[in-house]
């Protein structure tokens, strides 16, 4: 299917290639991290490349969107497995979403996030983030709600410093995320940004099996559950 792409903007071949480019850029910056967190599912192939280049362990983080009644594609916010939550208050007010609905949806989606994290991790334990410097990686950032929830989750787990890194993001999302993260690094922030997939030639879905395999491979490349804090 034809996908319009903005002329003159950086286009990535696929997630793994984008991850390698992101990793190279982080290495050139001289950033030191103890762990890499990949947002499932699309952020994991990139997080794997970053973790491999930096020689640090990778973990997955599942963020679920809070769905609008009758229109599940429109997100009211996002929530993590540990309950870190971001709400889009303006949309909630405009649509008249009740507190009761939000509570039910949050509980349901939090449970789903917990189940998915267990499924993806399998035999692996969550990385210890207390006192660590971590980088959260996604394949692209449109509104930023999911990544913001991931940042709050890492804060809840005691991370000392949190950087958000992505190949492509809207300018507004980068600006907003700088309010909650210690640093935000985007390879490109296009003027015209409608969807992350615009900036990839191959943006096919990342399969569950690939997420598990990449986590297995990453953990086998590192020893222990976390690198020393830099």
Residue-wise pLDDT tens digits, 213-227: 999 999 999 854 444
pLDDT digits (tens, 9 = 90+) for 55-108: 999 999 999 999 999 898 899 999 999 999 999 999 999 999 999 999 999 999
**Structure tokens given for 180:** 């909650």
pLDDT exceeds 80 at position 153: yes
pLDDT of amino acid 93 = 96
pLDDT tier, 115 (very low <50, low <70, confident <90, very high otherwise):
very high
CB 63 within 8 A of CB 152: no
Exposure string for 134-151, b = 16+ CB within 10 A, e = fewer: bbbbbbbbbbbbbbbbbb
pLDDT exceeds 60 at position 41: yes
- This prediction's pTM: 0.92
Residue 230 lies in a domain: no
Q: How many domains does the chain have?
A: 1
- In the block, which residue shows the tokens 């909630």? 92
CATH of the domain at 50: 3.40.50.2020
Residue 229 lies in a domain: no
Residue 37 lies in a domain: yes
Exposure string for 45-71, b = 16+ CB within 10 A, e = fewer: bbbbbbbbbbebbbbbbbbbbbbbeee
Residue 228 lies in a domain: no
Residue 168 lies in a domain: yes
pLDDT tier, 26 (very low <50, low <70, confident <90, very high otherwise):
very high
For residue 99, what are the domain limits? 15-219
pLDDT exceeds 90 at position 230: no
> Given its phi and psi angles, is residue 141 left (phi above 0), alpha (psi -120 to 50 degrees) or beta?
beta
């Amino acid at each position: 299917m034809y996908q319009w792409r903005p002329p003159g903007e950086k286009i990535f071949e696929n997630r793994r290639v984008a991850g390698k480019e992101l990793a190279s850029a982080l290495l050139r910056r001289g950033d030191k991290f103890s762990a890499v967190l990949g947002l499932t599912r699309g952020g994991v192939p990139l997080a794997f490349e970053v973790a491999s280049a930096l020689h640090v362990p990778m973990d997955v983080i599942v963020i679920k969107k809070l769905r609008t009644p009758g229109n599940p594609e429109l997100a009211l916010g996002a929530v993590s497995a540990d309950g870190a939550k971001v709400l889009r208050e303006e949309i909630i007010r405009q649509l008249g979403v009740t507190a009761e609905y939000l509570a039910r949806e949050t509980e349901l989606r939090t449970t789903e996030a917990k189940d998915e994290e267990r499924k993806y991790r399998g035999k692996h334990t969550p990385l210890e983030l207390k006192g660590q410097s971590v980088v959260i990686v996604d394949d692209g950032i449109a509104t930023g709600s999911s990544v913001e929830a991931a940042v709050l989750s890492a804060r809840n787990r005691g991370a000392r410093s949190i950087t958000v890194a992505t190949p492509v993001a809207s300018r507004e999302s980068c600006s907003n995320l700088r309010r909650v993260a210690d640093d935000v690094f985007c390879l490109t922030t296009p003027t015209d940004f409608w969807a992350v997939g615009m900036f990839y030639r191959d943006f096919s879905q990342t399969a569950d099996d690939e997420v598990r395999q990449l986590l297995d491979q990453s953990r086998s490349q590192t020893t222990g559950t976390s690198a020393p804090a830099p």
